């Protein structure tokens, strides 16, 4: 396999420039060695990230199977707690505090933007002749307020001692698997 990955964050964070090689990646792309050519921002957002990983896919070694592990940085906390940065309301104010209202809506607006980029990215694989399987998941829950206090305002238990609900809310990670027609035919 050709195994590569990308994360539009910094290579020194968690010593990823050294660790990822030990995980079996021949190449791993960060801000320092790839994404900085496409943006002047500290981190590449999804409008830069997804075209960047598409370019990596198109330039892969087509004589070998390809495995890629790409991690977006967009929509990582903290979220603005004082204004709607995306201009969208997804959850009505109701009884939410100002901080919860702005934080939750800014988080959800980022999710909506990422979802649009994922759809566009996925659509590029639909008619590919070779089998393609994509797996999408979040690597952790969003931090919603100090100590995740805004989950309480939303009525979502994050109590890890509550094994029936809070534990699952805190640790579960939804995922989505998609495959093109060529992959469905192969499987």
Task: Please say if the pLDDT value at position 152 is more than 90.
Answer: yes
Question: Is-cis flag, bond preceding 37, omega within 30?
Answer: no
Mean pLDDT, to the nearest integer, of 105-129?
96
Q: What is the pLDDT of residue 139?
A: 81
Percent of the chain scored above 70 by pLDDT? 100
Q: What is the pLDDT of residue 88?
A: 94
Task: Please say if the pLDDT value at position 137 is more than 90.
Answer: yes
Q: What is the pLDDT of residue 28?
A: 96
Contacts by residues 157-164 (CB-CB < 8 Å, ≥ 24 positions apart): none
pTM for the whole structure: 0.91
């Amino acid at each position: 396999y050709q195994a590569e990955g990308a994360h539009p964050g910094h290579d020194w964070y968690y010593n990823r420039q050294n660790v990822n090689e030990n995980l079996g990646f021949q190449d791993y792309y960060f801000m320092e060695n790839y994404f900085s050519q496409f943006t002047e921002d500290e981190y590449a957002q999804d409008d830069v990230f997804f075209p960047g990983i598409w370019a990596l896919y198109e330039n892969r070694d087509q004589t070998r199977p390809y495995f890629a592990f790409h991690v977006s940085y967009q929509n990582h906390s903290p979220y603005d707690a004082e204004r709607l940065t995306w201009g969208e309301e997804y959850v009505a104010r109701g009884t939410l505090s100002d901080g919860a209202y702005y934080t939750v809506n800014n988080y959800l607006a980022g999710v909506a933007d990422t979802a649009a980029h994922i759809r566009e990215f996925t659509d590029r694989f639909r008619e590919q002749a070779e089998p393609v399987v994509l797996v999408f998941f979040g690597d952790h829950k969003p931090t919603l307020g100090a100590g995740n206090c805004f989950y309480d305002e939303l009525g979502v238990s994050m109590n890890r001692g509550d094994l029936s609900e809070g534990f699952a809310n805190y640790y579960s990670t939804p995922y989505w698997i998609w495959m093109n027609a060529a992959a469905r035919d192969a499987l």
